[in-house]
Amino acid sequence: VNILGGLGEAFGPRLPSYDDREKDNFPLSQVQFIENVAYSLFKAIGVKIPSLSFLLEQLESNLQKWKEVAENE
């Protein structure tokens, strides 16, 4: 659902849809979500709370696995 109508297209590329599993490639959606949303969040958490930096390492591992799945889909 494009809540901005045609206006959204004027501001740049379409953002990926994370909620439409029937339309989108789910593994690719996971990759996009990690790269566009989760990575920055987990990186910031690791900087502010160094004892949680392992979370970013796990996220990077998950990202690689999802990329492999997406390539084989």
Q: What is the mean pLDDT of residues 1-24?
A: 55
Distance CA 25, CA 6 (A): 24
Give the model's pLDDT for residue 9: 55
- Per-residue pLDDT tens digits for 16-35: 555 555 666 889 999 999 99
pLDDT value at residue 1: 44
pTM recorded for the entire structure: 0.68
Would the pLDDT of 4 be above 70? Answer: no
Question: CB count, 10 Å around CB of 45?
Answer: 14
What is the separation, in whole angstroms, between the first and last Cα of the chain?
25
Query: Model confidence over 36-70: pLDDT tens digits?
Result: 999 999 999 999 999 999 999 999 999 999 999 99
